[in-house]
């Protein structure tokens, strides 16, 4: 477990600045049908850098004169695309309110900047996969709190088999709560969950420290238990992100599935990269001094505590 | 009203803060991916890792901390100083030098090897600089580039070192790789000289 | 710019001129540029040696013959081939004409096929010269195509990988020579390559 300090330092560099980043440049495009074939288009967006919203490309038969969209008899069916997605905004939510229909919500990303609108409202499964798999992957990759927790777990485990069990326990647990919340079976207030997630990192750091000192600790004997317990918590966090992105009502289970698969792929890549680094350092007999490892553990713990305190502050202070 | 509610959900600060997501893939990942998907960096870095793998273990592992640090220093300079054309020339020549050293498959004097690692890191780091960024974005970007250097060089160095020391055909495979890298370098150099150069003048 | 070229300059005037030209050529090195057309360049480079049947069979023949010859040819070949090929490619890029390229490649397929068919073992120098001639023609053909690629560097990487893989196919097939039946099969394969070589030669000379 030698190169972990170095990984930590990089993550640290990432997290310290990342914690300050509040901006979530997401744009919402609302298209409401006034009378058959005639729509009203409105952008709602917020960006600290005052970015203009992406340019919308409507199906060719539609005439667009902001905010009026005339599609005539063919109605608003065909391909709708957003340009400059990924440059200005990483994602945009398109909401279409048709007369006599439930509103439909679509999430467009830089990788999937267009959408095929068809009368029955159902999205093809490949389309859902193409949207939600990268979103899940992206979420875990940017979710440094989740990655730090996984790193802490990897520190605690001794061998491959135990690592497999631990990561599987974490995966099963967070999939369970992610599914339960998204499908509406469970509801948990977001702020306390986030504070608890931050605390889980600090707790794991303390366990790692005890383990490295050779003190008896339950978590080192049964890291899968701690992984499962806190995994339930992290699932709530993922669910918050998924609902924030916007979910198509009609395709909820498929979107949930692919988002989760994306999260697992991201987590697996992270674990594999850390394992590859461990292997590299072992095979080159490159050892880190003891103090570096201790510092790294303290750093992870401090980040966890810092996040916990800031989130607690947000929880307690009235908006 | 519903629209504003939805937007509120999307933009509530605690959401962004809690998940530390700025939904853009982030400058960190921009930095991480840049050298990995840019062939003119990826190939010489692979060659450097192969050269490192050809050294003895003690020498090889010096590249693990040194190269990322040199890349970091180079990228920090490249992000603040103006672009230099000779850096691009050096990077072009690094194809040939590193490829040639892999082809030769000789252990290098440790000092020379360290100098080589530092020079490659500095000049490729410089070319990875991003003058458009500043402040937090730049810090994230530099962390990403450094991370990419560390990941690529440590994993590839260890892999080539294992291949060379554990497999009888390893050294031949590595030398063939070096030969191909040098060949690509020659063609790229000739292309730059004869085609781009002819078009430019 | 010239005052910046200290690190690579040399006392030789020709060398200085070359460096100067290079600096002019690497015009406007925008920092952290993103390469365009990497995927297109990679795939077109990768497919180029595969799509030309004359290239393909000749390259497999190189691997087969190397395996037949055994050490040291079998490991000299994949190491020296790329460099000689690059020399041919540089000639192509520089616009130096090479006479009858198509015929040259076809003839190399024929000769290499015959070598495999009769399992000939000339001295290493002669073998290297034969393979080297082929490598020059092969590289020249690629060199002239390189500038048209979406991304020349990616194109170069693509054809390097596919050429290397074709050699590997030849070498792996060549390990069949450990068994008597395999030896005959390899020689048969050489015969087929030689026959294709005859066809390509005739076609390139306009006889067919």
Q: Nearest chain B residue to C158 by CA: give it.
A: B184
Interface subset of B 86-105, CB within 8 angstroms of C: 86-90, 92-93, 103
Do A153 and A249 belong to one domain?
A: yes
Go through chain B and tell me how many residues it has: 201
Count up the domains in chain A and report the number: 2
Do C10 and C62 belong to one domain?
A: no
Say if B56 is an interface residue toward chain A (CB within 8 Å): no
Give alpha helix (H) positions in chain C.
Answer: 13-25, 38-51, 53-69, 73-94, 101-118, 124-145, 152-174, 180-204
Of A42, A190, A276, the CB nearest to B14: A190
**Chains touching chain B at 3 or more Cβ pairs under 8 angstroms?**
A, C
Do C70 and C98 belong to one domain?
A: yes
Q: Which domain holds residue A252?
A: 4-22+135-316
Per-residue pLDDT of B3-41, as tens digits, reads: 443 333 333 333 333 333 333 447 888 888 888 888 889
Say if B166 is an interface residue toward chain A (CB within 8 Å): no
> Distance between CA B137 and CA B143 in Å, rounded?
10
Do A173 and A303 belong to one domain?
A: yes
Do A157 and A258 belong to one domain?
A: yes
B155·A277 Cβ contact <8 A: yes
**Chains touching chain C at 3 or more Cβ pairs under 8 angstroms?**
B
The two three-digit tokens of residue B100, written as one number? 């040639």
Do A195 and A301 belong to one domain?
A: yes
The two three-digit tokens of residue A96, written as one number? 């279409």
Of A10, A191, A237, the CB nearest to B19: A237
What residues in B contact A277, CB-CB < 8 Å? 151, 154-155
- Phi/psi of residue A44, each to 5°? -130, 120
Of B4, B21, B150, the CB nearest to A143: B21
Provide the pLDDT for residue C21. 47
Exposed/middle/buried for C55, CB within 10 Å: 0-12, 13-18, 19+?
Answer: buried
Do A145 and A245 belong to one domain?
A: yes
User: For residue A89, what are the β-bridge partners?
Assistant: A85
More confident residue, A17 or A57: A57
Provide the pLDDT for residue A220. 78
Residue A129 lies in a domain: no
Q: Look at residue A148 and tell me whether its pLDDT is greater than 60.
A: yes
> Which residues, other chains included, contact C202 with Cβ-Cβ below 8 Å and sequence gap of 6+?
C208
The two three-digit tokens of residue B29, written as one number? 């990942």
More confident residue, A122 or A198: A198
Do A308 and A166 belong to one domain?
A: yes
B24, B16 Cβ separation under 8 angstroms? no
Provide the pLDDT for residue B118. 95
Query: Average pLDDT of chain A?
Result: 80
Do C119 and C70 belong to one domain?
A: yes
Task: Return the closest-CA partner of residue A25 out of B25, B22, B155, B4.
Answer: B22
> Which residues, other chains included, contact C150 with Cβ-Cβ below 8 Å and sequence gap of 6+?
C36, C37, C40, C41, C44
Do C79 and C15 belong to one domain?
A: no
Do C6 and C58 belong to one domain?
A: no
For an interface test with B, the pick among A6, A134, A142 (most B C-beta atoms closer than 10 Å) comes out as A142
Do C105 and C179 belong to one domain?
A: yes
Do A189 and A299 belong to one domain?
A: yes
Do C88 and C1 belong to one domain?
A: no
Residue ranges for chain B with pLDDT beneath 50: 1-25, 200-201
Residue A130 lies in a domain: no
Do C98 and C184 belong to one domain?
A: yes
Do C117 and C94 belong to one domain?
A: yes
Provide the pLDDT for residue C36. 62
**Stretch A99-125: mean pLDDT, rounded?**
73
**How confident is the prediction along chain C (208 residues), in pLDDT tens digits per residue?**
333 333 333 344 444 554 444 444 444 333 444 566 677 778 887 887 777 788 888 888 888 888 888 777 777 877 888 888 888 888 888 888 877 777 888 888 888 888 888 888 888 888 888 888 888 888 888 888 877 777 888 888 888 888 888 888 888 888 887 788 888 888 888 888 888 888 888 887 777 6
B191·C152 Cβ contact <8 A: yes
Residue A12 lies in a domain: yes
Say if A275 is an interface residue toward chain B (CB within 8 Å): no
Measured CA to CA in angstroms, residue C13 lies from B93, C32, C94 at distances of 19, 32, 20
Q: Which residue has the tokens 């730090």?
A: A148
Q: Which domain holds residue C78?
A: 37-204
Last residue in a domain, options A90, A124, A158? A124
Count up the domains in chain C and report the number: 2
Do A41 and A17 belong to one domain?
A: no
Strand order from edge to edge, sheet including A78-83 = A55-57, A78-83, A114-117
What residues in C contact B128, CB-CB < 8 Å? 31-32
Spell out the domain ranges in chain B: 26-170
More confident residue, B33 or A218: B33
Q: How many CB atoms lie within 10 A of CB C89?
A: 31
Do A191 and A293 belong to one domain?
A: yes
More confident residue, A149 or B169: A149
Of A6, A17, A24, the CB nearest to B10: A24
DSSP assignment letter at A85 = B
DSSP assignment letter at C119 = T
């Amino acid at each position: 477990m030698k190169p972990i300090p170095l990984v930590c330092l990089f993550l640290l560099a990432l997290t310290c600045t990342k914690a300050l980043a509040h901006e979530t440049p997401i744009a919402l495009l609302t298209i409401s049908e006034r009378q058959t074939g005639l729509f009203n288009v409105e952008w709602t967006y917020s960006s600290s850098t005052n970015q203009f919203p992406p340019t919308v490309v409507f199906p060719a038969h539609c005439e667009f004169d902001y905010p009026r969209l005339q599609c005539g008899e063919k109605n608003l069916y065909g391909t709708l695309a957003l340009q400059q997605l990924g440059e200005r905004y990483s994602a945009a939510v398109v909401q279409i309110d048709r007369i006599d229909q439930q509103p439909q919500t679509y999430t467009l990303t830089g990788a999937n900047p267009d959408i095929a609108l068809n009368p029955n409202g159902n999205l093809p499964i490949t389309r859902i996969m193409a949207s939600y798999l990268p979103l899940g992957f992206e979420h875990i990759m940017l979710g440094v709190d989740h990655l730090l927790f996984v790193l802490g777990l990897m520190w605690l485990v001794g061998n491959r088999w135990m690592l497999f069990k631990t990561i599987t326990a974490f995966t099963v647990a967070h999939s369970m709560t992610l599914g339960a919340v998204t499908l509406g079976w469970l509801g948990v207030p977001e702020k306390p969950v986030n504070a608890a997630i931050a605390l889980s990192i600090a707790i794991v750091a303390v366990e790692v420290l005890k383990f490295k000192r050779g003190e008896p600790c339950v978590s080192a004997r049964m890291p899968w238990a701690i992984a499962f317990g806190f995994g339930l918590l992290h699932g709530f966090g993922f669910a918050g992100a998924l609902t924030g992105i916007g979910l198509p009502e009609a395709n909820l289970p498929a979107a949930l599935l692919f988002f989760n698969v994306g999260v697992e792929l991201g987590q697996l890549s992270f674990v594999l990269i850390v394992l590859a680094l461990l292997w590299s350092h072992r095979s080159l007999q490159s050892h880190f001094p003891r103090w570096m490892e201790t510092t790294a553990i303290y750093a992870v713990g401090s980040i966890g505590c810092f996040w916990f305190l800031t989130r607690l502050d947000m929880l307690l202070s009235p908006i | 009203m519903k629209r504003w509610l939805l937007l509120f959900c999307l933009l509530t600060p605690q959401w962004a803060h809690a998940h530390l997501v700025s939904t853009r893939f982030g400058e960190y990942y921009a930095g991480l991916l840049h050298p990995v998907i840019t062939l003119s960096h990826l190939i010489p870095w692979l060659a450097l890792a192969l050269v490192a793998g050809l050294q003895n273990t003690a020498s090889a592992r010096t590249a693990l901390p040194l190269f990322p640090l040199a890349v970091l220093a180079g990228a920090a300079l490249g992000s603040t100083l103006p672009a230099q054309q000779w850096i691009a020339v050096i990077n072009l020549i690094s194809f040939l030098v590193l490829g040639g050293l892999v082809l030769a498959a000789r252990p290098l004097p440790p000092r020379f090897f360290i100098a080589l690692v530092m020079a490659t890191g500095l000049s490729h780091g410089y070319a990875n600089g991003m003058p458009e960024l500043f402040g937090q974005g730049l810090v994230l970007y530099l962390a990403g580039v450094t991370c990419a250097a560390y990941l690529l060089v440590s994993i590839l160095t260890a892999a080539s070192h294992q291949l060379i020391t554990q497999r009888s055909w390893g050294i031949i495979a590595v030398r063939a790789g070096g030969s191909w890298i040098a060949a690509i370098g020659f063609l790229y150099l000739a292309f730059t000289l004869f085609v781009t150069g002819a078009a430019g003048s | 710019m010239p005052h910046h070229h200290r690190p690579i300059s040399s006392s030789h005037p020709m060398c200085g001129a070359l460096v100067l030209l290079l600096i002019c050529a690497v015009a406007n090195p925008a920092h952290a540029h993103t390469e365009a057309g990497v995927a297109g360049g990679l795939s077109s480079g990768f497919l180029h040696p595969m799509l030309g049947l004359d290239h393909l069979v000749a390259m497999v023949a190189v691997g087969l013959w190397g395996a037949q010859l055994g050490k040291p040819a079998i490991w000299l070949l994949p190491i020296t081939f790329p460099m000689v090929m690059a020399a041919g490619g540089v000639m192509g890029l520089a616009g130096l004409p090479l006479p009858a390229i198509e015929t040259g490649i076809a003839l190399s397929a024929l000769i290499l096929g015959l070598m495999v068919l009769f399992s000939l073992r000339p001295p290493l120098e002669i073998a290297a010269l034969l393979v080297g001639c082929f490598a020059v023609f092969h590289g020249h053909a690629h060199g002239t195509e390189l500038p048209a690629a979406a991304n020349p560097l990616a194109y170069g990487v693509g054809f390097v990988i596919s050429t290397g893989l074709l050699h590997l196919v030849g070498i792996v097939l060549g390990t069949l020579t450990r068994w008597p039946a395999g030896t005959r099969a390899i020689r048969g394969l050489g015969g087929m390559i030689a026959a294709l070589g005859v066809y390509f030669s005739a076609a390139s000379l306009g006889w067919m």
